[in-house]
Amino acid sequence: MSIGGVHLGAPSAAVIETILQHARSASPTYAPVGNTLVDDIRPGVHVESMIVGRGCNDFEAARTALLHWVPQRRIGADVVPPRQALELGATVLLIIRRGPACIVAVNRVVALIDQPHRFAYAYGTLPGHPERGEEAFIVDLLDDESIRLTIRVAAEPATRIGRLLAPIVRLLQRAALRRYLAAVADHVSPRSPRVPSSHIDRAGHSGSTSRR
């Protein structure tokens, strides 16, 4: 049984392939697409940020972590297709098992930035996802050589059951975001202390500026 992307029991390989094929021809379930990567993001976007390293080598390590779906895999999600490159237009399923339930999150990479001092991408929800909205991962090499990872989320429940469970979902989502940050920090330097950014306001801007 499936309700809005939540399956009772693990879906079969055939079901997963069917979901993926339908998703590849679908359009995002929200607008505007790419809204989490604009400089002047709207109120209500949830932001988590952490300093994950220092210098060009750590920037490249953090970029590599995002390219290989490290944050998602570290929270126990299966990425389908497992060898899907992180590229503009890529359609992916994130399959997360929690007890008897299995969440299938259907996403597409809708924006990608690859610059010498910033790497970022956003993926957005497709039909069948239990939420409606977008999530962005941003790595900046700042003027002081520190590496800041920022995650922005602009999403809302897509189903009635999702709206009923929204308070619990928000708590779980914020815990997942912190695990995303820690996963990249560990990938960059497993033994380094994790340093949260000094200030993040409701629009997601910090006191330091990145090199653009």
Give the side-chain half-sphere CA count within 13 A for 51: 20
For the chain, the structural domain boundaries read 2-196
Quote the CA–CA distance of 17 and 20 in Å, as a whole number: 5
The confidence score (pLDDT) of residue 28 equals 96
Q: Are 210 and 117 in contact (CB under 8 A)?
A: yes
Q: Are 50 and 188 in contact (CB under 8 A)?
A: no
The confidence score (pLDDT) of residue 163 equals 67
The confidence score (pLDDT) of residue 208 equals 44
CATH of the domain spanning 2-196: 3.30.530.20
| pLDDT average per 10 residues of sequence, the chain (212 residues) | 67 92 95 90 87 96 97 94 96 89 91 98 93 96 97 85 64 82 92 49 43 56
Quote the CA–CA distance of 90 and 80 in Å, as a whole number: 11
Helix segments in the chain, DSSP class H: 13-24, 56-67, 70-74, 160-164, 166-188
Whole-model pTM? 0.85
Tell me, rounded to whole angstroms, the distance of Cα 204 from its chain centroid.
15
